[in-house]
Amino acid sequence: MLLAIDIGNTNIVLGVWGGDKWRAHWRLRTVHDRTADELGIYLKGLLREHELEEEITRVIMSSVVPQLTQTFMTVSIHYLHHNPLFVHTGLDLGIRNCTDVPGQVGTDRLLNASAAYERFKKACIIVDMGTATKLDVVTSQGDMIGGVISPGLGITADALFKRAAKLSPVDYQAPPATLGRNTAHAIQSGLVFGYLGLVEGLIPRLIDDLKNYDPLGDDVHIVGTGGWINVIAPHTDMIKTYDPWLTLEGLKIVAERNQ
C-alpha cells in the first residue's frame, strides 16, 4: 500500500491508498519543531489503529515546509523502513508546468492541478483554501499556466484579531445574513462572504484570461479543496466539485506515474 504525505504550512495531510480506494486519511496540525521520534511514534500509532502498520510498501511525500522535510524523510526511513519518493518538478506529474518560472511553483499547487486534470480531462480552476488562498488554472491540454495567491482566511482572521484590540475571535461559519447586526456576525460576514466574493470575483476573470491560451477555455470545471474550503463551498454554485483530499489524489497519481 502507498502512504502519501503532504506537508503544508497549516496542516499535514496523510492517506493510505490500498490499490482501489483510500483505506484511511488524516489531517494533522503542522507543528514545526516536532522531532522525528515524536512524529514517527505518532504516525505508527495512526497506522496501527487502522491495522495498516505492516501494509505500507511505498511512501511518497511533498512539502512546502523545509524545516519538516528532512524530519519526515527520517521518519519514513527509520520508522517505516522505506526511502520516500519526494515530489519535485523533475518528476512526471501528469501535467506540464508552463508558468514563467516553473521552479517557483509549490508542489502542492502542482499536485492539485495534476489530480484535477486527471479526473476531469478538461480545463480546470482549482480553488485551494489553506494557509494561502490559491486559484490555479490548467488548460484542456494539461498545461498549468498560472494562478492567483492571496492570504488565507485564517491568516486574515488572525491579523484582524491581533490588530483590533476590541474584536474577539468568532466561529468560522456564515452568519444568518450578509448584513451583520452585531459585531460577531459582522466579522463572520466579512470573513466568509468576503472570501466568497474574492473567489467568485476571480473565477470569471481567470476564465477570460484562460481563453487567451486555450480555445476550449469556455468549458472549465471548478474544483475546491483545502482546509477552509468547507466554509465557503456551501454558499456558491461556482465550485462544482469539492474534494478536501485532492492533494492526496495528486500524490497517488505521481506515485503511479513514477514507479
CATH code for position 104: 3.30.420.40
Beta bridge partners of 123: 220
Beta bridge partners of 143: 96
**217-259, pLDDT tens digit by residue?**
789 999 999 989 999 999 999 999 999 999 999 999 999 999 8
Which residue range forms the structural domain that includes residue 116? 96-246
Mutual angle of helices 36-49 and 66-79, in 10-degree steps? 60
Regarding whether 115 and 74 lie in a shared domain, the answer is no
Can 243 be counted among the known catalytic residues? no
H/E element, 155: helix 153-163
Number of structural domains in the chain: 2
Per-residue burial over 179-199, b if 16 or more Cβ lie within 10 Å, else e, is ebeeeebbbbbbbbbebbebb
Query: CA–CA separation, 217 vs 87, rounded Å?
Result: 29
100 belongs to a structural domain? yes
More confident residue, 177 or 90: 177
Q: Which of 108, 128, 143, 243 is catalytic?
A: 108
Residue 49 has pLDDT above 90, yes or no: yes
Regarding whether 108 and 82 lie in a shared domain, the answer is no
Q: Which of 36, 59, 86 is the last residue of a domain?
A: 86
Q: Which of 86, 110, 129 is the last residue of a domain?
A: 86
Regarding whether 102 and 65 lie in a shared domain, the answer is no
**61-81, pLDDT tens digit by residue?**
999 999 999 999 999 999 999
The model's pTM:
0.92
Query: CA–CA separation, 231 vs 85, rounded Å?
Result: 33
253 belongs to a structural domain? no
